[in-house]
Amino acid sequence: MSKPGPIPYQKALEVKLPDAWFRAAARFDEANLVSFAGLAPLLALAERAGLSELISERVQIDPTATKVKSAGANPAGKLTSIIAGMACGADCIDDLDVIRSGGMKRLFANVYAAATLGQFLREVTHGHTLQLASVLRAHLVNLVGQTAVLLPGLEQQAIIDIDSLLRPVFGHGKQGASFGHTKIAGKQVLRRGLSPLVTTISTADGAPVIAGIRLRAGKAGSGKGAASMVAEAIRTARAAGAVGEILVRGDSAYGNSAVVTACLTAGVRFSVVLIKNPAVAAAIARIPDDAWTPVDYPGAVLDPDTGQLISDGEVAEIEFEAFASTSTPVTARLIVRRVRDRARTEELFPVWRHHPFLTNSTEDTTQADITHRQHAIIETVLSDVIDGPLAHMPSGQFASNAAWAICAAITHNLLRAAGTLAGDHHAAARGATLRRHLVAVPARLARPQRRPVLHLPAHWPWAQQWHQLWTAADPPAAA
């Protein structure tokens, strides 16, 4: 058998613009093209969940109390325009003009200019933000009802997470902006900004959606208003169909009497970190040495000699009465995770760092610790909104920025619902991925035989998922 000869040299393929196109004319004059055809099924899904009706019913702006008489007119159309712009990637008021390009005004009715939407936001007050927050909660409940795959397993167990973030602002024109603590590269720093407080709802098989968001001053403590936010999230989860167990998770900023009491009053379970005060330290010291159990964290391996798990973490628990100095003390399980202090590995005796949290969960110690550590899933939601509408706080007025944050939460939930309808590949995708795959699809508008048709790009990589969303979001025919 003859040996194969050498592979002939082939020039690498090139992706380049032919020279002729450099001399071609470029004109922005096509009125039948749209850049974000995915808005069609996305807004159809929003309307199936009653977004416009909820806004019309709950957001009431008195035209006689506005600085500009027409600024508060049609809040449903204007807020929907803001949400549509956010779904396209807008992170400031000027970017909202993206929904007016090309054939967008033919595809959608009541498309407002960015200047009009900015004028509307400046008329929003604190009372209007409370009304809009109720729209967020009700719309989420309707989305869960319209898309059964949005929070699968909600009837068995719902998990509520709470956390805050600090959005930096610059200049001195932002109402409520002040210096607050944030963490950058693992270090605590002071930054001037605004601090939204966020609650999310997730399930064992479902990605988290936003149940509530509340804007606060930058200097506000992380736990300010947390108890009422948790109570609202619990009611929202119950309304959405969480008839089984609900678990509320939070870090040390929310391990206080108010949050735990709100959980007990609502009849749900909690898992919150406690600050290591003298009482907690004394309880940890009472844990017997033989009570510590290695935790099977990802990456743990078996010791070939002993058969034990080799892990940096060990957990144990002890009964503990928390908040003893308040009028509402709580006796529950204090679960402690300890890890070796890597800064001191040459010591004669092991030096441990302890991380305690309080819970009334019925899971065994090891599983309760793993479940609590999954609280970090809320960080994916925070990074998602930071990478989208909350990249900036666009207005100088506090109430306007609060309304903007709530619209960002509605947009997040809408994109998450669209991703679950598009298929498993997009069910847990980031917002940027959903915008790129499902929303930012160019299309040409046509009406052959007076029948509207959207001509989308041939060989679109996610055409099947887009059609699946289009079919699922198709609004019912009028009677």
The pLDDT, as a whole number, for residue 185 is 67
Task: Report which residue type is found at 275.
Answer: I
Residue 86's domain spans which residues? 39-436
Closest by Cα among 263, 236, 235 to 248: 263
Q: How far is CA 76 from CA 33, 46, 59, 60, 407, in A?
A: 26, 12, 8, 10, 12
For residue 121, tell me if it sits in a domain.
yes
For residue 3, tell me if it sits in a domain.
no
Which pair of structure tokens corresponds to residue 199?
Answer: 């609650």
d(CA 168, CA 346): 42
| Main-chain phi, psi angles of 174, to 5 degrees | -95, 120
Q: Which helix (H) or strand (E) holds 248?
A: strand 245-250
For residue 200, tell me if it sits in a domain.
yes
DSSP state string for 264-317:
HHHT-EEEEE----HHHHHHHHTS-GGG-EE---TT-EE-TTT--EE-SEEEEE
Beta-strand pair 269-273/187-202: unpaired
For residue 20, tell me if it sits in a domain.
no
d(CA 427, CA 468): 13
The pLDDT, as a whole number, for residue 433 is 96
The whole-model pTM stands at 0.91
Q: Does residue 407 contact residue 389 with C-beta atoms inside 8 Å?
A: yes
Number of domains in the chain: 1
| Main-chain phi, psi angles of 210, to 5 degrees | -90, 120
For residue 316, tell me if it sits in a domain.
yes
Q: Does residue 299 contact residue 397 with C-beta atoms inside 8 Å?
A: no
Residue-level pLDDT, tens digit, the chain, 479 residues:
556 666 665 556 666 767 776 677 788 888 899 999 999 999 999 999 999 999 999 999 988 888 888 888 899 999 999 999 999 999 999 999 999 998 998 888 888 999 999 999 999 999 999 999 999 999 999 999 988 889 999 999 999 999 999 999 987 888 999 998 887 766 778 889 999 999 999 999 999 999 999 999 999 988 999 999 999 999 999 999 999 999 999 999 999 999 999 999 999 999 999 999 999 999 999 999 899 998 877 666 665 555 666 566 889 999 999 999 999 999 999 999 988 766 565 666 777 888 999 999 999 999 999 999 999 999 999 999 999 999 999 999 999 999 999 999 999 999 999 999 998 889 999 999 999 999 999 999 998 888 889 999 999 999 999 999 999 987 544 33
For residue 233, tell me if it sits in a domain.
yes
For residue 427, tell me if it sits in a domain.
yes
For residue 232, tell me if it sits in a domain.
yes
Burial environment of residue 146 by CB neighbours within 10 A (0 to 12, 13 to 18, 19 or more) = middle
Q: Does residue 295 contact residue 313 with C-beta atoms inside 8 Å?
A: yes
Q: Does residue 130 contact residue 225 with C-beta atoms inside 8 Å?
A: no
Three-state SS string across 390-449, please?
A: HHCCCCCCHHHHHHHHHHHHHHHHHHHHHHHHHCHHHCCCCHHHHHHHHHCCCEEEECHH
